Amino acid sequence: MSPSSQPATVRGPAFIRLLARFAELSPAESGRSLPDRLSQWLDWNHALALSTALEGKPAAGLEQGAAGGSAVADECAGVRRALARAGNDACASVAAGHAAAAAAAVDYADFRQCYLARQRAMQSATGRLRGRVRERLAATSAAMARLAEVDAAMEAALSPREHTLLAGVPALLGVRFERLRGTAGGPSPGTARTPWLEVFRHDMQGLLLAELDVRFQPVEGLLAALRTC
């Protein structure tokens, strides 16, 4: 491959880099600023709610300290480990069910359903934890109560768009699956291992972990604020 034909380096989180590599996408340059792009995600109702949260005066009498902050942080860490482990186990289980099959017989639908199930589990768990940390923040101080209100407004405004975008991930993973299968054969002689399927399983596991990192970013941000209390 000549230098001119090599794909450009994609910058950003591991999740974005993996998706770009799997789908062989080139990074698109945008001249639009971040506020301009965010404005396309917010309707006037959400913008008004966010403005109200940002401009609201902190209520008095909320200085209670950060009691229980360590417990909620431990809960978040435990849930994250459990989600990561469940994702790895699910990928391995589906791949094992196809390990001895010829490439043409391996059905991506099984992997797609697995990925969608893990996405639902991550969305449910991170949404619940985000609310839990917000509740803890709101009980610490007036300033942190306002931060919790701002985060709630941001979640309400951005979650639908986030859900729509993440729903497209299994299709991009499917591009990777078809490309690997198109260059593959059956199991290695004398084994039940299918090399290309092992590569895909590893890729799918890596993508799930990268998506988990993205979904936990709001939770980690709230926990960072809680640690300052």
Domain residue spans in the chain?
66-227
pTM: 0.82
**What pLDDT, on the 0 to 100 scale, is given for residue 173?**
96
**What pLDDT, on the 0 to 100 scale, is given for residue 24?**
80
> For the chain, how many residues are written?
229
Q: Which residues of the chain have pLDDT under 50?
A: 1-7, 61-62, 189-191
